[in-house]
Amino acid sequence: MGAVAKVDMAPNEGLLRLARQDLLAMPGYEPVEPLDVLARRLGIPEERIVKLDGNENPYGPSPKVREALARFPYYHIYPDPEQGQVRDAIAGYVGADPEQIVVGNGSDELLDLTGRLFLSPGDSVVNAPPTFGIYEFVARTYGAEVAEAPRREDFALDVDAAERALASGAKLMFLSSPNNPTGNVVSRAELERLLAHGAAVVVDEAYAEFAAESFVPLTVEHDNLIVARTFSKWAGLAGLRAGYGVFPPAVAEAIRKIKMPYNMNVAAQAAVLAALEDRTALTENVSMIVSERGRMAKTLARLPWLRVYPSRANFLLCQVQGRQAREVQARLRERGVLVRHFDSPGVRGCLRISVGRPQDTDRLVEALTEIGAAVV
């Protein structure tokens, strides 16, 4: 989600009169704030903040990543623009051919590069809200139109609506599975119906490790399927920015041609290699998050004014009932507990709460219990 900031029309005078007016009129993407900024704003020390608003990994990176970064001798040398070593390692991890892989500055960059390759002004992109705000943002930055196929009340895809948009000539569809912020996954049968239209279908699997399922194996059967993945969530590398895409080989080659040559820095590359070598430990962190997700869902469901939706990702979507969700978010924030608030169609009055460590859930529940008694 995101892309909800108010449209702030820049004056199109001075040099900006020469800028793309559609970009100036576009709402900006609303990112989450980093810890140091929050700590200063709230007057709470960083270590007292329970940050459950960015779907980050509370266990952080592997200690092997920290060692690899401390040891790395070549920060003064440009990275490999072909990204050979990381592509090989990632291909081994996901069971794809290295020719299919492109890496970048977070999976956001791969979504952007996909837009750059396929979209010209006036093209149409299918989006299934409520979903991750970057899809609409990417479409608009390339001057494309967004054809919306809103999800059903239970957040399942409206495949008929998406198919209608694809049949009327959309070039690209973005789809996240598990979906942010609703936490549900798309089925293989649904995806195959979408793929049958021949448009490029991007399945964003930022949270795939928490769902323990992936469509990467399907990329060998479908030459219009693109899968975007990241090290931000399961491997705790959100701040380093390390993502990748699994493309049909010819598309991967085209994307490598149009990307900036050094789009993944040497630190991120070293971190990815070390993370993949410490996969077993990182997978244990994923298991802890998945088991905490279950405990957190059960605990939150005891609050009669919260409706907790099932989730396959590292966050839970909760609908606040009989109280103002924005007010609940603000009261949590005063107590140093940060969660994300949504108020767009389909997710009105909802909070998205990342799964933290058990002690984070305890702080959250304690705060919610206090707030529940105070806010009506």
Ligand X SMILES: Cc1ncc(COP(=O)(O)O)c(C=O)c1O
Task: Write out the H or E segment, with its range, that includes residue 270.
Answer: helix 266-277
Residue partners of 294: CB distance under 8 A and separation at least 6 = none
Question: Taking CB under 6 A as the rule, does residue 209 contact ligand X?
Answer: no
The DSSP bridge partners found for residue 319 are 307, 350
**Which CB, 62 or 176, lies closer to ligand X?**
176
Question: Taking CB under 6 A as the rule, does residue 236 contact ligand X?
Answer: no
Question: Taking CB under 6 A as the rule, does residue 184 contact ligand X?
Answer: no
Residue partners of 228: CB distance under 8 A and separation at least 6 = 107, 110, 111, 114, 202, 203, 204, 205, 206, 243, 244, 245
Question: Taking CB under 6 A as the rule, does residue 227 contact ligand X?
Answer: no
Question: Taking CB under 6 A as the rule, does residue 176 contact ligand X?
Answer: yes
Cα 188 from Cα 142, distance rounded (Å): 29
**Which CB, 32 or 303, lies closer to ligand X?**
32
Question: Taking CB under 6 A as the rule, does residue 238 contact ligand X?
Answer: yes
- Name the minimum Å distance from CB 55 to ligand X: 5
Nearest residue relative to ligand X (C-beta) = 106
The DSSP bridge partners found for residue 265 are none
Question: Taking CB under 6 A as the rule, does residue 89 contact ligand X?
Answer: no
Contacts to ligand X from residues 97-116, by CB under 6 A: 106-108
Q: Are 269 and 79 in contact (CB under 8 A)?
A: yes
Dihedral, 9, 12, 17, 22 alpha carbons, nearest 10: 30
- Name the minimum Å distance from CB 229 to ligand X: 8
- Name the minimum Å distance from CB 210 to ligand X: 12
Cα 151 from Cα 100, distance rounded (Å): 30
- Name the minimum Å distance from CB 376 to ligand X: 32
The count of residues interacting with ligand X (CB under 6 A) is 13
Answer for which of 118, 132, 174, 247 binds ligand X (CB under 6 A) is 132
Question: Taking CB under 6 A as the rule, does residue 53 contact ligand X?
Answer: no
CA distances to 91, 177, 376 from 217, in Å: 11, 15, 49
- Name the minimum Å distance from CB 374 to ligand X: 31
Q: Which residues bind ligand X (CB under 6 A)?
A: 55, 106-108, 132, 176, 180, 204, 206, 230, 232, 238, 243
